Each structure stands twice: as structure tokens, then as C-alpha cells.
Structure 1
Amino acid sequence: MTEQSERMRFAPVSLKLGRFRDLTLVPVIVVLLAAGATVSPTFLTGENLVNVLQQQSALALVVLAETLILVTGKFDLSLESTVGLAPALAVMLVIPTSAGGFGIGLPSFLAIPLCLLIGALTGALNGFLILRFQLSAFVVTLAMLIVVRGLQLGFTGGKSLFQLPESFTYLGSANWLGIPASIWITGVLFAAGIVALGYFRVGRALYAIGGNDDAARAAGVRVNRVVWGVFIIGSTLAALAGLLTTGWLGSISANQGNGWIFMVFAAAVIGGVSLDGGKGTVFGALTGVLVIGLVENILTLKGVPGEWKQLVYGVIILVALMISRLAGGKAQD
């Protein structure tokens, strides 16, 4: 097989149309900015917009993780539980028993590496169960969502952790050049994802697997290895999201990350990522995150009760599905 034919096989389907879809939500974002400005004079201030970005940075990392997995045609529902367990377990290995830890007393500088390692191991286990036993990714990760959440509740006794190492909260609370470090970190990782999926062989491999894994194998892609790696990367990103959330809040609650997966799928779907695999881009997912963040901020400034926010998010998803149908001739399902 020639190099040119190989590139054509790996190229994302309808690349030009895909790029057009990337920009679908840009007018929506502009409308939301205009609507927010009419709702409150503080909406378009730099402080408020930075606050929106910081609040959405951790969620955005989980959306990035889920996007990579969805492109391969798989699911990972357990990411939201990893957001809670990874930082909680890492901290408990460091802090004393009096602060809710295990009393092992590992050096505090190991807390961040341990957090990321726990996330990676969770993704590795998910990938192993799915690939080795040919199980449904949806069912496996749904079970792991419950298992991982149960582990956190069991280890912590359902209590929040407050006495955290200062180094562990740094990334979520620090400012670099006047902008929260979490925004810088999220921006760099999204840029890396955009470049990797758009211009590197591994990105073409993800699209090929999501489009037709048998054809990808025939083209020489090591499908199982790539998918396993994506699950590991995804859970590691979820652990990093938990780390940023912990630093921003200054504690680890017993329900940290609980319910995030609904928002994650909402952002991915309205950003044009297909649940069937093989379609969608990281930039599109990013626009989905921005729409969710702006809507949430507008609802907060407007004083809309939290009980009604879920309704609004559901309506947004339904509208996005209809737009996808009109733009692409086929709804995401």
C-alpha cells in the first residue's frame, strides 16, 4: 500500500464538512455573549470571563478525554468517578490518620504523580476488561463508575478531605501571568489534542478505528493497543481534572465529579462528536464546553434556580442533535 493511499484511508471522513461543523457553535457563542451582556453588566468583564474559563477548565479536560474515546467508537462513563477517587486516594496515602489518611505517610511531593498514576491504572483496567474479554464499553465503564465511586466513599467514609498538601492544591489555585494555571494547562492540552488528531498518524488511526476497526486492522493499525492507550490517557486526564478541582476548591468532597458525565456528553455532542465513533474534533468539543459554561454563567447571573438548569441543558442537547441532523444529514445516535 502506497503512502498516499494510506493517508487517504486514515483521513477523517468529509474533512471539509468536518471543519465547517467545527464552526457551527461559533455563532451560538457570539449570541450567548450578546445575551449575557444584556443580562448583567458584569458578564463581559475580564474577571467574569476568566472565572467562567476557570470553572470549566476541569470539566473541559474530562470532555477532552471523552472526545478521544468517543472518536474510537467507545465510551467511558467512569471518568466522573475517577475525578473524585484519584485525588482522594493519592492524598490519603500522604496525609496522617488524624486528617483522614491511611497513615502511610508517603512524601507529599508524590501526591500529584500518585493521582495521575491512579487515573492511568483505572483507564488501563477499563481497557483491559473491554479488549481482553470483548465486553461492552458502555456496560464495563458503567460498572466501573459505581465501583470507583464506591471505593472513594468507602475509603473516605463519605467525608470530605480538607488538610491537603500545599503542593497538591497549587495547580488548581495558582496564577501564571495573571491567568489561573488551570486555564493555561487546559489550553495547552486542548491545543495538543487538536494537533494530534488533525496532523499526526495517531489521530488518523483513532478516526479509522472509530469508522471501521476491521478496515483499520487491515491497514496495519494496532487497534487494541491504540484503544487501550486512549482509555489510559482519558482516565489520566480525568485524574488531572480532579487535581485542578481540588486545588480550586481547597478540598476533596465525597461526591467530587458526581454527575459530571452528563455535562461531558452534553458538551461533546453539541460540539459535533458522534456517539457512533469516527467523527468529531477536539476543537468542536471545546466549543461545546464554552457553550455550556456561558449558559451556566448566564443562568447564574439571571438568578435562575439550580433545579431548572438541568432542563436547560437537556434542551440544548436536543437542539444540537437537530442542528447536527440538518447540517450532516444524519443525527448523532
Structure 2
Amino acid sequence: MTDTHAHRTAASRYLRPSIVPMIAWLFLLPLTQGCGLIFDAVHQVYPVTINEMDKICRRQQVQVGMAVEPFRPFVFPAVWTDEGARVTGLDTELVRAVSDALTIHCGTPVVPALHLVRFRDLFLLLNEGQLDFFVSAVAAGTPSPGRSGFAYSTPYFSQGGIGAIATRPEVIDLLQTRVRTAGRSTPREQLLSGLTVAVQDSTAAHLYAEAKIHAAGVLVCDSLPAAFEHAAAGLSPPIDVIIGAHPVLNFMVHTTRRDWQLLAKDEHTPLWFTLADYAVVMAEESYTLRWFINDVIFHLHESGRLEQMRHRWIDETYAYPRRASAEGLPFDVQKMPAHYAQGTCRAASPH
């Protein structure tokens, strides 16, 4: 065998493994044009794999979304401190626990880059890939076409279903009478028939109202403060009932909105409209990150810290601005003007 022939033989052996997939690709290309299958064919020949944990470690930041509207005690109103703008609450402590665990996992400091935006925009930003995950007392598994394509972590808070509050005595009396006289099989939403019900835009309560409440008027408010302001100003139509996250409403009527009353079946039983757990929201394909956050929540639970966090934020008496100054998360100050635009209420679109 000549040196030239040996060289060609070796070259053919070297090139053959890379040529075969290329020939397969050239053969498939005419078949895929016009059928929207080009990416699928590339994916079959050269599988695309993205590890979201590696991306977080490389940039040393985890992109976190949080609602600019307060969901006390999970997310409090943002405040100015000597160190700058800060936000605090149970959910911010959870975010810090996740970022601390990421620092250990990555072997380098990982800081949370907080995006404080409208609650209704959190799902959009996550869908666009601008966030790794978000939190804001989000009820896991709420049925809605708009919630498809998202995944939820292990719950970090239970008993987070929908409750209701009212302030006018005649409305409270009417609802208490309906609760007493309603049969066990009476759909819960029928208790609200003929009333005007306020909900916060895009929350689980809003989705519940769209799916269930057909015999009552529904006002969609940009935030809970907007609903309270609408009611206090005596605007038309007057709000009879606000439905929303039960633990948020319960916290508010015992702290900042003592003129409102949490509706109950009796002295010891809250009036629930749904049951739900709160979880961290991620993209459906973020499997590695979801396993990681599930592990963080598991260890928080096993160590007793998760229960301590719940007690600390829900049961203790405290001044949240002081906690924000001491332990709050910083965020982009350009979001501060949007924070104070609590918005308004408007009639819900017809079903």
C-alpha cells in the first residue's frame, strides 16, 4: 500500500462518522420544508440539551420574579431604606434560602436578581425566558388555559385557598344567613348571587370568578389596595365582597384592614371557596431547577425552618419596614414608580 493510499484510507475512516449524519440531514431536508419539521429533524440528529442550573451558575445570578402588588405577609409593599429599595415577606425569605442553596451548589456566590412587576405579567416574563422562577403566594394547579406550560414546585405553604371579606353590616348579615340556610350540596359560589364581587386581576380568585361566578357582578381590580380604595370612595358599583387568597385576607383584616371582616361558616370554621397550596412557579421544561427547589423546600421542612418561617411572618407582631431594612431583597429602583400605581377596578368582561 502506498503512502498516498494509506493517507486516503485513514482520512476516509476519520471523516465517515461525521459524514453519515450530514448525509442523513441532506436527505431529510427536502422532506421537512414547508412542514414545520426542520427543527425537529435537527433535534433528532443533534439533540439540544440545556441545563438551567449550569446557566444560573455561569451568570452567578438567579432571575426571580415577584409581584409589585402586596400580598401580605408573603410580599409586603416595597420600601426605601438606607441601603436602597427593598422588599420583604415570607416569599423573600424563601428566595434567599434558594439563592443560598444555589451558592453552595455552584461553588460561587449566586445572588437573586429581583424583578418586581405586576402579578399578571409574571407568567408572561417567565414564558419569555426572562425569569428562572417566581413567587407571590401563587396557588399551584389553578385550572386555566393561561396557566398551561408552567410547572410548580413542592408546596411551601398549605391552606392557601380562596376566602372572602366584607365590610358593610347588611352584606355580612345576608351572607351569614345564606351560609346557615345553604344545604351541603349548594355550590359555594351561589352564596354570592346578586352581589358585586371584587377580585385581583389574573389571580386564582379572578380565574375562579371567570369559571364559577355567573349570578353576581364581578369587578376586576389591578390590586387589593385598589379594591379597598374603590370601596372606601363609594364608587359605583359598590363592592359587596372581596374574594382572594385566604391567608392574605385573614392577615389584612387582623392588621391593616380591621374595618373588614373575614367571612366564616361559624366561629371556628373559615368560609372557603377553594383549597390550594402555594408553590414556586417555573417553566415546564425546567426539570433540573424544579428538582433543586423541591430539595430546598424539603430540607426547610425537615429542619423545621419552614414552620419557623410561617410562624415568623404570619403569627408574630412586627414592623415590616424594619425587617425590610434588615433582611429585605434589593430590586431595580426603576420599578418603584409602578409600585405606587395601585390601579383601579373595572367590570369584568362578559363570559
Give the TM interval when normalised to the shorter protein. Answer: under 0.3
Higher Rg: 2
| Greater relative contact order (Cα < 8 A, sep 6+) | 1
TM-score, normalised to structure 2, is 0.24
Higher helix share: 1
TM-score, normalised to structure 1, is 0.25
Higher strand share: 2
